[in-house]
Amino acid sequence: QQQVKQSPQSLIVQKGGISIINCAYENTAFDYFPWYQQFPGKGPALLIAIRPDVSEKKEGRFTISFNKSAKQFSLHIMDSQPGDSATYFCAASNTGGGADGLTFGKGTHLIIQP
């Protein structure tokens, strides 16, 4: 059972455009939702994270939108740049569960065309 479903699998966006990646989760106990960026040969790097008590969080060009009732959250990358080309993962965890292991989506391969 895939607990975090991510779409699309791949995405091509023109430079300066908005990149949008979506995730849906099933476990209502999840209460922490980070997004990670990964370049080839490197480990995932935290971009931005949100908790369900807010519907939106913005940090620079990155925005998370969160819909608790729909159990969905999305990442928006504004003014997308070629340097943003990478694989992006959404994740979720139940921080009150005594452990904090992240459940990841399968990833979105983003290409920003110059």
Partner 1 sequence: GAGVSQSPRYKVAKRGQDVALRCDPISGHVSLFWYQQALGQGPEFLTYFQNEAQLDKSGLPSDRFFAERPEGSVSTLKIQRTQQEDSAVYLCASSFAGQGGQPQHFGDGTRLSIL
User: CA-to-CA distance for 9 and 51, rounded, in angstroms?
Assistant: 24
Q: Contact at 8 Å (CB) between 77 and 61?
A: yes
Tell me the DSSP string of 52-91.
TT-SEEEETTEEEEEETTTTEEEEEESS--GGG-EEEEEE
Question: Residue from 1, 43, 69, 83 that binds partner 1 (CB under 8 A)?
Answer: 43
Q: Calculate the alpha carbon distances from 110 to 3, 48, 70 in Å.
A: 22, 17, 25
Nearest distance from C-beta of residue 65 to partner 1, angstroms: 19
Nearest distance from C-beta of residue 38 to partner 1, angstroms: 9
Which residues lie across from 113 on neighbouring strands?
14
Task: Examine residue 11 and tell whether it contacts partner 1 (CB under 8 A).
Answer: no
Q: Contact at 8 Å (CB) between 67 and 55?
A: yes
Q: Interface with partner 1 by CB under 8 A: which range of 12-20, 45-53, 62-70, 75-83?
A: 45-53
Nearest distance from C-beta of residue 15 to partner 1, angstroms: 26
Site string for partner 1, 77-106 (x = CB under 8 A): ------------x-x-xxxxxxxxxxxxxx
Nearest distance from C-beta of residue 86 to partner 1, angstroms: 14
- Which residues of this chain interact with partner 1, rule CB under 8 A? 6, 31-32, 34, 36, 41-46, 49, 51, 89, 91, 93-107
